Amino acid sequence: MQSAQSLPTKVIDHVKYVGAEIEINGSVQAVHKFIHAVESSKPYLFVTGAVLKSSSAFGRPGPQEPIIDAQFEIFGAVQGQAP
């Protein structure tokens, strides 16, 4: 993981959601595994936004798998009353 920061709380249909913006980089397979882990574990979390770009990481010798820079917005519902 490159970085993480909290996002403003959202209230949708009287349900309060907290979120984070997560930045990672890795192979296509690694990014796919990350998304699967987020959306298939408990507590339930949802990827609500994503930006994927080809990485500018160069300089490694030999054949290499493409690397992706990825930024995700991830939210989860919080128990309790929403305002």
- CA angle at residue 71 from 4 to 35, to 5 degrees? 95
Name the domain count of the chain. Answer: 1
Q: Which residue has the tokens 């820079």?
A: 69
Residue-level pLDDT at 64: 75
- Residue 83 included in any domain: no
pLDDT tens-digit readout, 3-19 = 999 999 999 999 999 99
What per-residue confidence (pLDDT) applies to 66? 86
Residue 51 is assigned to a structural domain of this protein: yes
Rounded to an integer, what distance in angstroms lies between the CA atom of residue 34 and that of residue 43? 15
Q: In this structure, is residue 16 part of a structural domain?
A: yes
- Asked if residue 7 belongs to a domain, the reply is yes
Quote the pTM value: 0.81
Residue at 11 is within a domain: yes
Structural domain includes residue 50:
yes
Q: Containing domain of residue 41, as a range? A: 3-57+66-78
Q: What is the CATH number of the domain that holds 41?
A: 3.30.70.60
What is d(CA 8, CA 19) in angstroms, rounded to the nearest whole number?
7
Residue-wise pLDDT for 39-70, tens only, equals: 999 999 999 999 999 887 655 566 678 899 99
